[in-house]
Amino acid sequence: MQNALLAYATPIFFALIFAEAWWARRKGKDFFEFSDSLTSIGCGVFTVTLELFAKAFLLGLFIVVEQRFAMWHWSVDSWVTWLVFFILLDFVYYWAHRWSHEINFLWGGHVPHHQSEHYNLTTALRQGAWQDISHWPLYLILALVGCPASVFIILLTVSKLYQFWIHTRLIDKIPLIEGILNTPSAHRVHHGINDPYIDRNHGGTLMIWDRIFGTYVKEDEPVVFGVRKAFRSRNPLTAHVDWLVTLWRDAALSYRWQDRFTIWFHRTGWRPEGAKQRDFRPPFSLEEFRLYAPVLDTAHKRAGFVWFMLAITANTTMLLGFGHIGWGAQLLLAALVILTLWRMAVVFTVPE
Ligand SMILES: [Zn+2]
């Protein structure tokens, strides 16, 4: 059911993206870049494709843990259940998200969401395919305390849908709710690479966790969006391995054997002795940051768009066909999604 819901939500997402693009253009704001937007949505398409297989297994695991090992049992019909797990899920999400920023290998799962140097509603769809999978061990805590699987999956979906509208630069600070709920302003800070904004505002729906645990910062100076190790590409597939390959290379270049294992669990950005010397990277400087801006003519944009639409079509067929068509056909469609996204990336690979 969740898969079909996602397929039906797609036109609504697109309508809101077009509305935001129209509004931005009316205000004379340059918030969108064509190939960046398609790459961001492409990351989401790849994530949905992969999760179609992964979540069938992970949700099964959640149900087994909840039914066999839960400490308590909660009624789906009680509003107390929904309230308790809304708060608990948001709390767990805060820590899962925070550690996804702070720990090297978890950052590899979350980094696609932050790679865009623009910030608009397409950024919301730019999800990392490994992210939810890496969060699952923490989500199983909810199963252990007895969260019914149906409550969990609905609340997780609500949390994701809530986080869609906050990815916009068109809405300023909102009086009364700043610092309580997650807002466009609070979340812009989260996507900033300015010094005061790094690893701040990790909350999903609520902002109170950041205030309690000391990671809350108000939007003050203009936000520069992106990641400090810039992803200068329009490939939604390599976006998912970029940071992991960087870690692998650093591990291979390290002097000490133990660093090759521990690098994955160190603070994000930590580099072992050996990697620093053999592959020097200058420290990040905001003054030297420049936007990645490949120059695309109309023919390239059209060709990229055709491949993008083919990827969307194959992915939507997968979602609507879930439960009706076999896993073999789903695998073929998944291969088609990957192939078409790759072709789109090839078209978008042009000099700056
Ligand atoms: Zn994040």
101-111 pLDDT per residue, tens: 999 999 999 99
Q: In this predicted model, what pLDDT tens digit does every residue of 261-296 receive, in sequence order?
A: 999 999 999 999 999 999 999 999 999 999 998 989
The overall average pLDDT reported for the chain is 95
Residues 116/138/132/122 CA torsion (nearest 10 deg) = -40
CA of 78 from ligand 1 middle (Å) equals 32
Distance 97 CA to ligand 1 centre (A): 6
Q: How far is the CA of 331 from the centre of ligand 1 (A)?
A: 30
Ligand 1 centroid from CA 111, angstroms: 8
In the numeric block, which tokens belong to residue 243? Answer: 């940071």
The rounded distance, in Å, linking the Cα atoms of 164 and 167 is 6
CA of 36 to the centre of ligand 1 (A): 18
pLDDT at 2: 67
Q: What is the pTM of this model?
A: 0.94
Contact between 60 and 18 (Cβ < 8 Å): no
Taking only the tens place, the pLDDT of each residue in 140-190 is: 999 999 999 999 999 999 999 999 999 999 999 999 999 999 999 999 999
Q: Please, which residues have CB within 8 angstroms of residue 53's CB and are 6 or more apart in sequence?
A: 330, 334
Alpha-carbon Rg of the chain, whole angstroms? 21
**216: phi then psi, degrees, rounded to nearest 5:** -85, 130
Dist. CA 329 → ligand 1 center (Å): 34
Query: Rounded to the nearest whole angstrom, what is the distance from the C-alpha of residue 170 to the centroid of ligand 1?
Result: 20
Question: Is the pLDDT at 5 greater than 90, yes or no?
Answer: no
CA distances from 340 to 4, 150, 305 (A): 22, 34, 10
Strand partners, 322: 325
CA 113 to ligand 1 centroid distance, Å: 7
Tell me how far the alpha carbon of residue 81 lies from the centroid of ligand 1, in angstroms.
28
What pLDDT does 1 receive?
Answer: 58
Maximum Cα–Cα distance for the chain, whole Å?
60
Structure tokens at 349: 């690979």
The Å distance, Cα 268 to ligand 1 centre, comes to 13
For ligand 1, the distance from its centroid to the CA atom of residue 190, given in whole angstroms, is 6
Ligand 1 centroid, distance to 320 Cα (angstroms) = 29
Taking the centre of ligand 1 as the mean of its atom positions, its distance from the CA of residue 339, in whole angstroms, is: 28
